[in-house]
Amino acid sequence: MIYANEFAAHLRASGCRESTVRRYGLYLSLFHRYLHTCRITDIREVTAEKIIQFRVYIRQLPVKRNAKKMRTYDHNSCIKTLSVVRRYFAWLVQDERILRSPFELIAGGEKRIQHLRNALSEKIIARFLDSITGNDALSIRDRCICELLYASAIRLGELVSLTLQDVDMSAHSLYLEKTKNGYARIIPVSARACAHLAAYWNSSRPFLANAKSTTFFVSKSGRPLSNSSVGKMLHKRLCEANMQDVPLTAHIFRHSCATHLLANGAGLRQVQELLGHRNIASTVGYTHFDLTHKRRLVKLYHPLENELYEDLGAKKY
């Protein structure tokens, strides 16, 4: 009695997106695999001791990184997995399928490690963008995608979900409906990015898209782009620019855009709205830009540092 399908239905009824339900299902499948190794078929047989042993099990579980390399689950992946299993048992109790959760006898969960957001420098981003110079349909499309990712800080899933109605070049804006948190938002687009959108629309998309296609960005076969196809495109373009060692992904474009906006004086609330974060704490992770920018801000705005104070002839101690 594992109740995986029933738990998935509960998540959907709670308002979880389908991608979240699938992700939870993958985490839960690790737990079910562990139960199979323990020859446990009844969920009521799971004890606190088994949960503790499961912690050790997932930390040692090998995971494919790519075709050649293997790795184990990192700390945060283990925490996410345990969090899903904890929620799973809470639902089992709530639905009266079990009397008590084994997590009740276990001390509070471990905390996730908060990593700094990875961002590339403005020079590296500009160098990469300028390396995509071809005039063929795919080059124009790829340059447009990269320019838009950096200019708007949209997520990869939001980019591949864009429809023809979502892109308003005359208003220099994007309408994002399929977002991570479920809240639609309107994103401004720079004049430079709009110029590349127009180039793609006029000189590239007509040669790639078929008559029935409603998505804005399409593959060379006219079908909607997938997340993986954009990732492969970025890797290909990095190799062509002899920048294969640069860790550039669609999400790094997002991190870089947010970091550069904050570094150049944008407000935290404005960047929060641009990124579509529910909680401003998620945006704070982007405020680790270098010390030079922080010194410039202090020099510009601190009352004992700015030029106005010096012009008034104040003494310096």
Active site residues: 155, 180, 251, 254, 277, 286
Q: Which helix (H) or strand (E) holds 203?
A: helix 191-203
DSSP class of residue 39 equals T
For the record, the structure tokens of 75 come out as: 């700390």
Among 124, 140, 162, 64, residue whose Cα is nearest residue 255: 124
Among 54, 72, 55, residue whose Cα is nearest residue 63: 72
DSSP for 136-158 reads: SHHHHHHHHHHHHHHHH---HHH
Phi-psi region of 135 (alpha: psi -120 to 50; beta: other; left: phi over 0): alpha
What is the longest distance spanned by two Cα atoms in the chain? Answer: 81
66 CB neighbour count, 10 Å cutoff: 7
